[in-house]
A and B are shown apart, each in its own frame.
Chain A
Amino acid sequence: MYLAHTGRPDAPPRPLGIRRRVPATVIALGAVSLVTDVSSEMVTAVLPLYLVLGLGLSPLQFGFLDGMFNGATALVRLLGGRLADRGGRHKRVAGAGYLLSALSRLGLLLADGATAGIAGSLAADRLGKGVRTAPRDALISLSGPPETLGRAFGVHRAMDTTGALLGPLAAFAVLWATADAYDAVFAVSFCTGLLGVLLLVLYVPSGARTPPVRPTPLQHTALRDPAFRRILYAACLLGAATIGDSFLYLLIQRALDLPAALFPLLPLGAAAGYLLLAVPAGRVADRFGRRLPFLAGHAALLGAYAALLLPVTRPTVAVVLGLLAVFYASTDGVLMALAGPVLPAHRRAGGLAVLQTGQALARLLGAAGFGAAWTFWGQGPALWAAALALAAALAAAWRILPTLATPAVTVTAAAPAHAPDLDTTPEAP
């Protein structure tokens, strides 16, 4: 229980009656994420079009630009976590991340098509995204008693996803109103991003005012804790057996020969399902422990693979999208809720960053491996291999994950990993 006290000095102990209320900090952070995601998904939705159609960059150049920065994000996250832990500067570090991303839109606007300027802006955006994620999740996990963390993360992710769904719509509206003025999208995105920063500054409390800690190398701190290590291993193992949604959407598209215009609706459908399920899944996790939902979520993903191994029909689409939604809802925020209470408050952001980075890198590996398997063996055998790998990873994770996790009264609650913003939002195809 020490968490509730060290974490939030300004959160008075609540009588049982109002325990259902989500801490104001979580709502504030959710609002910040919502507004920021509108801003960032606006740009994500139009950037490929802008670069290739507006600027005549070849797709190869664009892919190179994009891939380069995506890889770097994972490592920046570690830095953000460490910075935040030094003297509990969560809010300031997260705020700097949000501000940097907002300013990067201004960079896109001013770059006016110059490749160097665009590359710099993209880099700034990814840097901001990487830096802010771990401190933000640490703030959420420090904002209330550990036994309600599942719901808190569920609420945050639901708000976050709402923003991710609204962003492309906003971008579309601006393009439609201006007959494809991409710069107008950047301008609106910049204003929206600034609003997100302002909300953070005004409504999010500074968070864990832990005494400054002597900086110790990370591997000697969070990684030394056996419970945390088990969560990390399980998350990485499962992450490496995850093939990435774009592959699943592609398999659906190929099997049914969906028109390209309908393709973007697939991730949208999964995100909408995630949005609806995030809070209920968080509540279930609070009630029954986070280990089970986390594993069940991956079982749902396995179900999605299995559905695609059967003959694909139209109902299969709904089944796969539904299972994907269950997967995200019961793993994304739940992992943070699982790992958060295991980590001492003054090392939480750093620990969560390690977890997120490990999971993201493992997923990258999984996606790359699946891509290679698809290329060399064809899609059927590749999918079989992925399903077997995931089943094996699930069996292993079942044993690895700490079982003592009765809901968070103790220090160990099991929860699934949230892979940063990147995974909470459907990637724009």
Chain B
Amino acid sequence: MNPRAPQLRRLALVVLAVLLLGGGSLGYVLHARHRDRPAGAADGSFTLDEPGLYYRDSATGRVARHSATGGPPATGGPACERFYAAGEHALCLRGLPGIPARTQALVLDRHLREVKRVTVPGIPNRARVSASGNVLSWTAFAIGDSYATTGFSTRTSLLDLRTGYLIKSMEEIPLTIDGTRYHAPDVNYWGVTFARDDNRFYATVSTKGRTHLVEGDLHDWSAKALRENVECPSLSPDNTRIAFKKKVSEDPSAPWRLYVLDLADLREHPLAETRSVDDQAAWLDDDTVAYALPGREGRAGDIWSVPADGTGEPRLRIAGASSPAATN
């Protein structure tokens, strides 16, 4: 018997395994390549003209609308991971394929045609448009910017369509905390919400492990902290109250609860939603806020609503959906 037979048999086994496993890999990649993917742009018939509740449908990845008048939902909006619309414009955030992660922010007009496109590093997170549609803001999670490798930091951009002025990261905005000018390398902003005057805005800033609600001024380019432990503020349509998520627990699986803050006297009250909400709430009208929660029955997420005065109870609005935005 050939003394080299065992070696040859071993080599044959390895070659066979490489062929099998390589073939399997290639097959899977080809299969994944040809799966259906959502088309990017909106159908021509889908516009912002009809009032209703716009949202991202998890099943298709595209924006859809529940009409105020009832009837079946309209589908065929643009493919977005985050969506918001108000006034004359909509904001659609998409993650771009590849590493490192990048976010594409698409500004769309009322017919959902592209007006402007901006690419920033990070993963799509929050999107907001002022009531007029003139000022927009979005937040992306940047990876690899933080101390811990698994930590994330945020990058928030602001865009003023009246002047075309774009601020890719608002980290450098002069910030005042407790009446004094604050400097720290670790400030992170996220979750901007705009007032009706297209100038005042609110956002979360986090630094040294604490979060603050800041009130900002676009024209003066300044921000001051109003209050601690306020995340993802959302200003009511009448501009008197702010819905936000408040950190109420150290349990990382359920840290937050939805609250509403009255800007006149800075008093806050919890809403009837007792589950942990990790979303920037959206006001459906002056009495109701909507938000996404992790879905039940295996769905990616569901949109719920709850009265803004702390009474009542949460109501499931749309199953398998996220990014609520009410227009009228």
Contact = CB atoms under 8 A, between A and B. Distances in A.
Interface of A: 45-46, 48-49, 52-53, 55-56, 58-64, 66-67, 113-114, 168, 171-172, 174-181, 183-184, 187-188, 191-192, 194-195, 198-199, 202-203, 246-247, 250, 253-254, 259-261, 263-264, 371, 374-375, 379, 427-429
A261 B149 contact: no
A52 B21 contact: no
A374 B147 contact: yes
A180 B98 CA distance: 7
Given A184-B29, A203-B10, A263 B144 contact: yes
Interface centre among B18, B24, B143, B255 (most CB of A within 10 A): B143
Nearest to B13: A202
Contacts of A371: 147-148
A253 B322 CA distance: 35
A86 to B, nearest CB: 28
B170 interface: no
Contacts of B147: 246-247, 250, 371, 374
Nearest to A374: B147
Secondary structure of the A side of the interface?
A: helix
A246 B146 CA distance: 8
Contacts of B185: 254, 379
Contact of A181 (B33, B95, B122, B144): B33
A179 B37 contact: yes
Contacts of A67: 148, 150
Interface centre among B33, B148, B278 (most CB of A within 10 A): B148
Interface of B: 10, 13-14, 17-18, 21-22, 24-25, 28-29, 31-33, 35, 37, 81, 95, 97-102, 121-124, 141-152, 155, 185, 208-209, 252-253, 255, 278, 294, 298, 300-301, 322
B14 A202 contact: yes
Contact of B99 (A45, A56, A183, A184): A45
B167 to A, nearest CB: 16
Contacts of A203: 10
B148 A375 contact: no
A63 B151 contact: yes
Contacts of A56: 294, 300-301, 322
A176 B252 contact: no
Contacts of A176: 97-98
Pairs A-B, 8 closest by C-beta atoms: A429-B144, A181-B32, A59-B152, A191-B21, A260-B121, A184-B32, A187-B28, A64-B252
Contacts of A254: 185
Contacts of B148: 63, 67, 246, 371
Contacts of A253: 145
19 contacts: A53-B81, A53-B95, A53-B101, A59-B141, A59-B152, A61-B253, A63-B151, A113-B300, A168-B99, A171-B99, A180-B98, A183-B32, A188-B25, A194-B21, A198-B14, A253-B145, A260-B142, A263-B144, A379-B185
A234 to B, nearest CB: 27
Given A64-B253, A179-B33, A429-B143, A52 B97 contact: no
Given A172-B99, A371-B147, 8 more contacts: A45-B99, A56-B322, A63-B252, A114-B298, A179-B37, A191-B24, A202-B14, A263-B100
B99 A175 contact: yes
A199 B35 CA distance: 33
Given A67-B150, A181-B35, A202-B13, A259 B25 contact: no
A175 B97 CA distance: 7
Contacts of A180: 95, 97-98
A48 B141 CA distance: 11
A202 B8 CA distance: 12
A202 B142 contact: no
Interface centre among B22, B150, B185, B253 (most CB of A within 10 A): B150
Contacts of A171: 99
A191 B27 CA distance: 12
A375 B294 CA distance: 33
A178 B28 CA distance: 10
B35 A264 contact: no
Nearest to A67: B150
B182 to A, nearest CB: 14
B24 A261 contact: no
A66 B252 CA distance: 12
Contacts of A261: 100, 102, 121
Contacts of B99: 45-46, 49, 168, 171-172, 175, 264
B24 A260 contact: no
A192 B22 CA distance: 8
Nearest to A249: B144
Contacts of B322: 56
B10 A202 contact: yes
A260 B35 contact: no
B22 A191 contact: yes
Contact of A264 (B124, B144, B209, B298): B144
Interface centre among A45, A56, A113 (most CB of B within 10 A): A56
Nearest to A52: B123
A285 B139 CA distance: 50
B21 to A, nearest CB: 4
Contacts of B301: 56
B282 to A, nearest CB: 17
A181 B142 CA distance: 21
Nearest to B122: A260
A263 B146 CA distance: 11
B254 to A, nearest CB: 10
Contacts of A45: 99
B35 to A, nearest CB: 7
